[in-house]
Amino acid sequence: MPDHRIHDRAVEHSIRVRYSETDRMGIVYHANYIVWFEIGRTEFCRAAGFPYRAMEERGILILVTGVDCKFRRSAQYDDHVTIRTRMGDTGSRGLSFFYEIVMAADGTLLAEGSTRHLFVDAGKRPIAIPREIRDAFSRFVQPAP
């Protein structure tokens, strides 16, 4: 993703690692970081003024078209971890989010990755990102000087 600009504005949200999220290796099962990414973008959209649930209730769905994640260190049960979410440039129909998962206590990087998304309507046909959503995201990540 070298062609994506990542905006500085980050939304942080912290969670406790659940017992159900661990595996027999004693650490968080890796696919759960991908679930945490989704929590991150839920909170990002809420902070930007467009709660994702409200979007869906208006018939605007955001599909996940790609994901990648690098795992640096392991989180364990009951660890307090922070999901830090940033947004990349929006295209006409899609956008990307970038994530860092860190230990809440000392910021140790646990995992980092990104997701790519496509806006679709209730029938899952691609649509242009609605102007008011695009504008709200733009204002959120590029606050006026």
Of 19 and 144, the one with the shorter C-beta distance to a copy of itself is: 19
Active site residue 23: yes
76 lines the binding site for a copy of itself (CB under 8 A): yes
The CB-of-57 to a copy of itself minimum distance in angstroms stands at 10
On whether the CB atoms of residues 106 and 67 are closer than 8 A, the answer is: no
128 lines the binding site for a copy of itself (CB under 8 A): no
Distances (CA, A) of 111 to 33, 59, 76, 84: 8, 32, 13, 11
Q: Which of residues 36-75 bind a copy of itself (CB under 8 A)?
A: 38-39, 42, 51-53, 56, 61, 63-71, 74
Catalytic site residue from 3, 8, 23, 121:
23
30 lines the binding site for a copy of itself (CB under 8 A): yes
Question: Among residues 2, 3, 8, 20, which is the contact residue for a copy of itself, using CB under 8 A?
Answer: 20
CB atoms within 10 A of CB 113: 18
Taking Cα atoms as reference points, which of 95, 70, 81, 85 lies closest to residue 8?
85
Amino acid occupying residue 80: H
The pairing of strands 109-120 and 61-71 is antiparallel
What is the dihedral angle through the alpha carbons of 117, 51, 31, 108, rounded to the nearest 10 degrees? 110
The CB-of-82 to a copy of itself minimum distance in angstroms stands at 15
Q: What residues are annotated to the active site?
A: 23
**Residue ranges that bind a copy of itself, judged by CB under 8 A:** 16, 18-20, 22-27, 29-32, 34-35, 38-39, 42, 51-53, 56, 61, 63-71, 74, 76-78, 124
